Amino acid sequence: MGKSDKSSVHPLIRQDGRIAKRGIAVVDGITDMPVYGVPYVSSHFIISISHSGMVKAEYDDKKVEFHPHDLSVVYPGHTLLAKSASPDYRATLVVVSDQVFSTLFSSNVSANRFKYEQLPCINLADRQYADVMNAVAALRSTCRLIPKAGVDMALDMLAILVRMVDHFRRQCVDVDSKQGSVRNLSAHFYEAVVKNCARNRDIGFYAEMFSLSPKYFSATIKRETGKSAYYWIKMCTLKQAKQILRTDPEAGINEVAERLGFNDQATFSHFFKKEAGMSPSEYRKKAK
């Protein structure tokens, strides 16, 4: 079991109004997860830094654990299912609203999104942890100036923090990053897929969005990510399907198919079983 008393409102949920109004917030005093036993889907971009203790959870069906000095970068729309938290768990969250996240993304400091989607958590060395917490402290102080000083200064501090995290991530896990490419296309492609895969899963649609030929577009995505463009479209569609099946028990399979732009329930069920290894109904039962 996790914390013994979950009746109080979690600090992240309590801060929702402030985050929506100010765009950025540093939330201290995190001692457990937002919701236990049911999937939680955040609409925010979150950087989480664990100080002590441990949390067990599922991140998009993957079992994860958060230990001291673990830093996690979670993009909007992912499903987190909390399992348990140790009594000594402590963490700090940097939470960014949808609107500010879009600004951050367009400024090209989130170009490693593909990598974070696959591996959201890294473990920081002591010096890295100290540097990150110094950057968070500076951001915390800057956030106190909002709204009087506007969000520009806080955005600058946030951009520095994200760049620092990207740098430490490469030191921790990117052993093949000698090329140092910014990977602009794949990052922006994934953002487009998240927004549009329920309406359009045609590669030509995305190639045209970036004014590229389908052949060149596909080759670039393959080179930057190691996977085909169609693979990422399928995976994003599957992720959204699983999220609806887990978080909206009232939605019938036919309704889920309609929401994701499939012609009929049979086509959706065939797609889901091929990619997930089970039918949508079986997956929903297993998720419960």
> Where is 203: in which H helix or E strand?
helix 203-209
> Which whole-number Å values give the CA distances from 236 to 164, 203, 219, 272, in the listed order?
27, 14, 19, 12
Write down the pLDDT at residue 233. Answer: 94
**pLDDT < 50 positions in the chain:** 1-7, 108-109, 174-183
By the 10 Å C-beta count (0-12 exposed, 13-18 middle, 19+ buried), 45 is classed as buried
> Two tokens at 140?
């915390």
> Where is 195: in which H helix or E strand?
helix 184-196
For 232-235, the CB contacts below 8 A with 24+ separation are 232/114, 232/189, 232/190, 232/193, 233/193, 233/197, 233/201, 233/203, 233/206, 234/201, 234/275, 235/275
Write down the pLDDT at residue 171. Answer: 75
> Where is 236: in which H helix or E strand?
helix 229-247
Task: Give yes or no for a contact between 187 and 112, defined as CB atoms under 8 angstroms apart.
Answer: yes
| pLDDT, tens only, 3-16 | 444 445 566 666 66
Write down the pLDDT at residue 180. Answer: 37
User: Omega before 68 cis (within 30°)?
Assistant: no
Task: Give yes or no for a contact between 201 and 232, defined as CB atoms under 8 angstroms apart.
Answer: no
Beta-strand ranges (E) seen in the chain are 24-30, 40-41, 45-52, 55-59, 62-66, 70-74, 79-85, 90-96, 121-123
| pLDDT, tens only, 76-90 | 888 888 888 999 999
